[in-house]
Amino acid sequence: MRYAKDESVRREMYSAFSKQCPDNTELLQKAIGLRAKAAQLLGYKSHAEYVISDKMAKTSDNVTEFISSLRDKLCPLAKHEIAEREELKKADKETSGEEYRGLFKWDTGYYTTIIKERKHDINMEEVKKYFSSKSVVSGILDIYQNMLSLRFAKVENPPVWHPDVEMYEVREAASDDFLGHFYLDLFPRENKYNHAAMWPIRTAHTNLDGSLEYPVAAMVANFPKATSSTPALMQHGDVVTFMHEMGHVFHSLCSRTKWSRFHGPSVEGDFVEAPSQMLENWAWEPSVLQKFAVHYKTGEAIPEDLIKRLVASKNEGSGIFYLRQLLYGSYDMELHNTSTGDVDVKKIFSDLSENITMLTEDDENTWDYTTFGHVMSEYSAGYYGYLWSQVFSADMYNTRFLRDGVDNPQTGLDYRREILLPGSSRDGSISLRAFLGREPQNDAFLKSIGLSE
């Protein structure tokens, strides 16, 4: 979808991906009705009100206002990006002697890649030569050891479920106190979970005799494996993913609560992603990248000029991307903010899709929502949380880490104490205020995606 020059190939891929699991339409329709009925029995007007009542947002009206306000800010940016991509596609069609019929959903990834290559001279296939998985894992663990005042030791001959899996012991850097273990399961294999996630194998808590039960967490991903000619090389996006999921790992390892229920990432659903999203910022920090990004053949550090161009390309297509995120957040709320569950799951998605993204799919008549797994999981009526928590993550990073230094150990200890350690034993809003020293603001988030008030 990012590299196919032939539009018919992109369209075919999009169509195949977006027409999976048609039977899920009926299943989703039934689920929405059952959830609405359950919410009514519990005294709530809708499933959304039931779910959001113990989140940071508190009400569905607050979520709707958040989505609407952000869409208003994103639309001008997205319109500019769409126009820019339309010009490129028109030129391509003119060169090939074909009729220009419009910019469609299967075009945006390809033309965003073209813009990055032309405007910023960025070839992501060249960039990944600086990110061998071995150097990325080693380098990032070193960075977080220093920042969080931790010490990681790889366990030799560990009891693991596959030879690819690595196991690490975690201790306090100063006192050498034991904190827990984590596993890294980074490469694909047959029948393995095919996304990226952190799984809390064991949560920390205090036993009845006063002893501590230590946490165990596993990070699972599917980064490219080594080939006969090259080591395992990551795209820069894979590096961002690694940092994100390790954020969940640290949340699990650095949390200490009396009760298992409140441990680590068990915080409010619209706050749980904030600690991980914040750590993604390190993947765009030049001083950080220079510590571990080296060419897999020559061993040379990634050039400063390449880092500048990579960072400059960060927000290309951000308007289009975040409108798509808002589409799924809006769809999730439209389905679940009903008292009867009497909704047309296909029509709602089709109407919202064109209205929010400002892009069409010609006459393909797809059903993307049947593989929107979040809507059938614990994220139902909660997908907005990815963007909601990103506001907090950007504020934490800009207010404390950029100001004090991204590798400042005192800031790292403050972050551990105020954000990671409490888990959900106190409201996320209290933890945020304690770390920031004030109420959170959205300025940093808007700036981070190329917008400003």
DSSP string, 411-427: HHHHHIIIIITTTTSS-
Which residue among 7, 49, 81, 245 is the active-site one? 245
Q: Which of 258, 289, 255 is nearest to 275 (CA)?
A: 255
Taking the C-alpha atoms of residue 90 and residue 234, their distance in angstroms, rounded to an integer, is 33
Instruction: Label residue 197 exposed, middle or buried (CB < 10 Å: 0-12, 13-18, 19+).
Output: exposed
Quick one: which of 450, 432, 431 has its CA closest to 441?
432
Q: Which long-range contacts (CB under 8 A, 24 or more apart) does 297-303 make?
A: 297/129, 302/130
For residues 425 and 258, is the Cβ–Cβ distance under 8 A?
Answer: yes
Q: How far is CA 184 from CA 82, 175, 241, 408, in A?
A: 39, 25, 13, 26
Task: Name the E strands within 214-358.
Answer: 216-220
Q: Tell me whether residue 245 is one of the annotated catalytic residues.
A: yes
Cite the DSSP H helix spans in 121-159. 124-127, 133-148
Question: Residues 34-40: contacts with CB within 8 Å, 24+ apart?
Answer: 34/341, 35/336, 35/341, 35/380, 36/336, 36/338, 36/339, 36/340, 36/341, 37/341, 40/339
Closest CA to 70 of 353, 336, 356: 356
For 214, left (φ over 0), alpha (ψ -120 to 50), or beta?
Answer: beta
Residue 182 neighbours by CB distance under 10 Å:
23
Per-residue exposure over 5-26, b if at least 16 CB sit within 10 Å of its own CB, e if not: eebeebbeebeeebeeeeebbe
Q: In residues, how long is the chain?
A: 453
Tell me which DSSP letter residue 258 carries.
S
* Residue 215 DSSP label: P
Q: Which residues, at least 6 apart from 37, have a Cβ–Cβ distance to it below 8 Å?
A: 341
Residue positions annotated with a catalytic role:
245
